[in-house]
Amino acid sequence: MKQDQFLDVVDEGVAHERFRAACAHLKPQTETVSLGDALERVLSCDVTSHVDVPGFDRSNVDGFAVRAIDTFGAEELEPISLGVSDVVLAAGEIPPDGFEVTAGIAVPIATGAVVPRRADAVVMVEDTEPAARSVLVSRAAVPGGNISFAGSDIGRGEVVLRRGTHLSARETGVLAAVGVERIEVVRRPKVAVVSTGNEIVAPGDSIGIGQVFDSNQRILLDSVAELGCEPQACGIVPDDEERLESLLDCLLFGAEGVDVVVLSGGTSKGEGDVNARVVERLADRHPESPGVVVHGVALKPGKPVLLSVVADVPIIVLPGFPTSAIFTFHEFVAPLLRRLSGLRSEILRSVDAVAPMRINSVPGRTEYSLVDLVEGSLGLTAYPLGAGSGSVTAFGRADGFIRIPANTEYVAEGSQLTVRLIDPDIRPADLVAIGSHCIGFDHVLSLLSEEGFRVKSIAVGSTAGIGALARGEGDVAGVHLLDKASGEYNEPFLPEGVRLVRGYGRRQGIAFGHDDPMFDVGTLDEMSLVLRSEERRMINRNPGSGTRILIDGLLDGTQPDGYLHQAKTHHAVAAAIEQRRADWGMTLDTIANAAGLGFYFVADERYDVAIRSDRWERPAVVVLRQLLEDPAVRRDLAALGFRE
């Protein structure tokens, strides 16, 4: 018998390098599907919200809408009496035109109803007692208490899901919440699976001496499906070159052509090596293709594997023995299919983690707390999201949850936890950004996600972000803090073990209704006087944010109407002004312009990225640093309105 030798037996690393190079030009393809067909698909583009969620200031409880300051000092033994408004606000109803809460008045309100102007808190009905033409409040409200502010969950223009996200029920719920009906996803590659050999018999058929049931096709078809591809079963082809070549011609050039062909069997060096000869002949007919790049790898099992690309279609011939076939499939084929399908995840179900801080609970009832998994100084940590029940995105971005028993008042810092993963595909993020939110940094993180890294972004403000890095929580933080003494941004605030990478410039300023003449001033001193007056209501930012520091500088110790009304994002500020729940606030020029608001420039500032030194060489951090220095990325940021 004639013995056809392998083309050449190469090391595993060489085989991978050759096959990757031959397939480098193959890119994931996209298609548009309805939201109803989006489950288990992979996003091919970022999803940006075109609405604010919630779309209005919403009450989280049944009770009374109040000015929080009117309840200060209220206790169970010394309640405060408030008058009750004749207006009653039910869910789905809009407050009367021009209606607003006045001093000493409480407005009955239902869960989900629109919070009226000048109310900055809702008192739960359980914390009140009715009285003659009044209501007794037995617990003081805090500004923002029991209210979900417009744009606080999702802001218009905010990236809510990033390309590369594998869509589960959590993410499709987020898409529905922002009104998405059709979405761009990665098209599922069509993968043909063919078994070859005279000895192969389909399961269910009778079998004779020297024959074996075809287990390879079932294993490979299901493995292809697990990788997010569309498997196409092509049955069993005997050792007949003409029949096999006809089938491959159809798969490569027919009306129902496929993206990848996987064959098993017939790769030995003997006379029966039908598959290799047919593939080589096809390659000879298409000399513009890479052709056969590997035929034989120094592996055990899996030595006779053949790797080729013909007419832009990868054709892989796996060994016939099942163990060898599945080993070489996962070694060489699975990475290609995972890339073409956009799927880049591992299977996890639960993980052990540490509580990085004290997590409070309410004794008397079992509590489930959503967490992000973050690499900290103590190892994997479960970072609590701290989001309310009305938040859509909290559940959409959480990695998992912890269960706190009913008899537990709190989970102590450093406690060992078991985190149950919401989705078995979730894995700890490759990069965790904790700090100030910015749409420019969002863009860079999306590029990082496109590179195959799982990115987690937690917006807590610049000061809190620096604090998180100091404690070992997270990898990087977006920061924009001005040191008044030196006039320098960010560098003076870095703790030991944290380094700074150059970011970009932003324009902060006062946003206001475009038709409001009161803000038509010349100098910043004149604008400062307007802001400190009581004629217009403000919306503030959260303490510790760089924006809050700028606001407090302009207000010079004063606290005008709305000072205690705090928003956590630039988008929420714009939403409040656009909806006339506030008259002014501080935000970025790009966000103010997108919302159609007036804008008065206050300061150029630096938005830089702080990075823990011990995370400096992590793969995701290295790529992030490269992206921030990439001229193409710098041009993208300039197009978004940011500056060098």
Q: Reduce the DSSP state of residue 9 to 3 states and report it.
A: coil
Q: What is the mean pLDDT of residues 608-616?
A: 94
Clarify whether residues 503 and 631 are in a common domain. Answer: yes
CATH number for the domain harbouring residue 112: 2.170.190.11
Query: Over pLDDT 70: what percentage of the chain?
Result: 93
Clarify whether residues 385 and 287 are in a common domain. Answer: no
Domain end: 365, 390, 421, which one?
421
Domain end: 421, 436, 457, which one?
421
Clarify whether residues 504 and 409 are in a common domain. Answer: no
Clarify whether residues 93 and 19 are in a common domain. Answer: no
Question: What's residue 618's pLDDT?
Answer: 92
Question: What's residue 369's pLDDT?
Answer: 77
pLDDT digits (tens, 9 = 90+) for 96-151: 999 999 999 999 999 999 999 999 999 999 999 998 889 999 999 999 999 999 98
Clarify whether residues 365 and 508 are in a common domain. Answer: no
Q: Which of 459, 599, 449 is nearest to 521 (CA)?
A: 599
Q: What is the mean pLDDT of residues 570-581?
A: 89
* Bridging pattern class, strands 63-66 and 121-124: antiparallel
Domain end: 379, 395, 421, which one?
421
* Bridging pattern class, strands 540-541 and 566-567: parallel
CA dist., res. 326 & res. 317, Å (int): 12
- For the chain, what is the domain count? 5
Name the residue range of residue 93's domain.
58-148
Q: pTM for the complete prediction? A: 0.63
Given pLDDT bands bounded at 50, 70 and 90, which one contains residue 424?
Answer: low
Q: Is the pLDDT of residue 391 over 70?
A: no
Clarify whether residues 356 and 406 are in a common domain. Answer: yes
Query: Over pLDDT 90: what percentage of the chain?
Result: 52
CA dist., res. 35 & res. 180, Å (int): 7
Clarify whether residues 35 and 71 are in a common domain. Answer: no
CATH number for the domain harbouring residue 323: 3.40.980.10
Per-residue three-class SS string for 501-562: EEEEEEEEEEEECCCCHHHCCCCHHHHHHHHHCCCCCECEECCCCHHHHHHHHHHCCCCCCC
Clarify whether residues 229 and 206 are in a common domain. Answer: yes
Question: What's residue 19's pLDDT?
Answer: 96
Question: What's residue 3's pLDDT?
Answer: 36
Clarify whether residues 330 and 385 are in a common domain. Answer: no
Given pLDDT bands bounded at 50, 70 and 90, which one contains residue 619?
Answer: very high
363 in any annotated domain = yes
pLDDT digits (tens, 9 = 90+) for 392-404: 555 667 787 787 8
pLDDT digits (tens, 9 = 90+) for 331-384: 899 999 999 999 765 555 778 888 877 878 777 666 777 788 877 666 777 877
Query: Average pLDDT over the chain, rounded to whole?
Result: 87
Clarify whether residues 237 and 333 are in a common domain. Answer: yes
Q: Is the pLDDT of residue 267 over 60?
A: no
Contact 20, 294 (CB under 8 A): no
Q: What is the mean pLDDT of residues 34-43?
A: 93
Q: Is the pLDDT of residue 272 over 70?
A: no
Question: What's residue 343's pLDDT?
Answer: 79
Q: What does the angle CA 166 – CA 370 – CA 607 come to, to the nearest 5 degrees?
A: 75
Contact 573, 152 (CB under 8 A): no
Question: What's residue 307's pLDDT?
Answer: 95
| Residues belonging to the chain | 644
CATH number for the domain harbouring residue 408: 2.40.340.10
Q: Is the pLDDT of residue 530 over 70?
A: yes
Question: What's residue 2's pLDDT?
Answer: 36
Contact 217, 231 (CB under 8 A): no
Clarify whether residues 141 and 223 are in a common domain. Answer: no
Question: What's residue 32's pLDDT?
Answer: 96
CA dist., res. 546 & res. 527, Å (int): 19
362 in any annotated domain = yes
Q: What is the mean pLDDT of residues 158-170?
A: 91
Clarify whether residues 363 and 510 are in a common domain. Answer: no
